[in-house]
Structure 1
């Protein structure tokens, strides 16, 4: 019994250490807990894949993380969005989780309110890429980025897995595969349009804010004309007074306080109702003075993020290409290269030191293997070169003898 006690303590210590949430999982732990409230532990099964367990070590499901770096994610409204996919024990999607992001919170709230994240529920991993999901009105960029992330995640884990080892072939050195670059990167085209649109929005918003602050009386008169005579008359008034006028109809069928006050005055023509209309216009004006600056700041932030992303993509496109993906004729060597690429992608996403250590070991193993292969090839080339030198020396000493020997061999 005494001998068992150290083992018991060791097991208990192991369990406590294992219960700590791994660094790559932490951004998703809170959302995962909403789906699996009993979740207490995340045990790594493979790079990027974690078993979700309760306090009794019972498996509740599986969490799949992205294996791509931030530069490979589709840009949303104000930045990129990390996602993960949670599966239940039937291998069906239990939820799409959102991790670190720079997105405007109101857009993500719209995505959640529209139940967009539930669009993939009950699907199996292999069914995800073929699922057609519409973006969310009012959060198009955010929902499009999430949709692309979910599809990429599924596709990354659906790549053909290594099967039974094939008969070994002589190891071949890596051969870079030349790639032909597409004429234009689709994301660069999309970001160029986005930047142009945001510049127009930011410029217009800055002009509007200046107008609200410096030309209050004319702004109030413009709004009164719009309420009583309509947008066409307001447009003419704005043109005559060099003002900016936005004719943005309200969303939905609900009328604004200004619309209701204008209707009431048109029916009564009373001085009291006219004053009530002016008060409603003033209240709307003051509300805009409060809301336009933070709106402008949000738009400027989105513009800066989009421009930074666009510049990074342009530099990447025009900079010397990084090392090509290596292709090997030896299946074992190719399997090792694929493993290195997966570990590298997982580390770029999580910055987990354990993954970096694993990557270092695999790269070291690969380089040692390549060194041995190259050494063997060099030795073979040296032997071949020695034979060629010997033949050359014989020929230069007595060319006639070499020619006679060759003819004799051919005519026997």
Structure 2
């Protein structure tokens, strides 16, 4: 089989034997030999990447791909662990050897990173991370975090938010020696740090705070402190409005924005805590219900009651929908086309449903407008509807 022609045998021998001073007198290796080994390690990295890409398309079952990827990942972690140990053992006077070990470790780390990023769904994330590998990950993360702390967190200009993120990363870097660390936790912290670094490249300082919030929602940063922070900031903004209907409008818009935020599937900071989306979704629902009841029981003075008496509404009860009219039209068109609903025509579907719907921006939806919009859609509206449907699918799977 093709798999037998591409193994990690050469890298295994170089790291566990040739460059392991416990088994070889590494002082006898010349600079030329070390240079050749480093170049060969780079070639091996490129070859294995090509091999894995090829195998992912040609293996005929998910089980075979999963077996191959897990074998590669486990072997690479052990090799990288040994490479770090070899580097730490290298004597201070052997700088050429140390540089060669660092270069080889970099090649291994790049190959491991490719496997983790490209094939993460095939990995067993709950396995314990080897100590030397974990120590190197922490050192690299600490250097990157220090750069963010000095520059980026100052630009965000919100100590409460940035301290929550720092506390989570510091807990991983400094306090995790007392407990076993899984690959799941390592990958999460890597994603969090990479996301912060990406946001730090934005030039507009006004958008940084919201970008960090959206990143934490995306990664299901489900700490109680972040959930409290998010709801408190939102409550302050909404309570700045006086009238109940204005508060309701702002709350519904905020709920719509929250539902449209991207979320990474099957990811959670703390697996033992409740999911962020469910907790905040319940908070929104309770606040909306509270404002609805408060508005319902508002008492008007006699003068206002007399003025409004001729304007008693007889319209049917409406359900608030957080999609725009264009997006609702797209959903109805799809339901009609896929026979989720049955009616004489699409126009009949619109005429039946539209009178009972409203949006945060339109209390009364024009049936004619909705019918016309059901025949031409913008890409942005399609993307919003797709995200909404994906969210429904994920909710059903988790229910």
TM-score when normalising by structure 2: 0.27
Q: Which is greater in Rg?
A: 1
TM-score when normalising by structure 1: 0.27
Which has the larger share of strand? 1
Which has the larger share of helix? 2
**Which is bigger in relative contact order (C-alpha 8 A, separation at least 6)?**
1
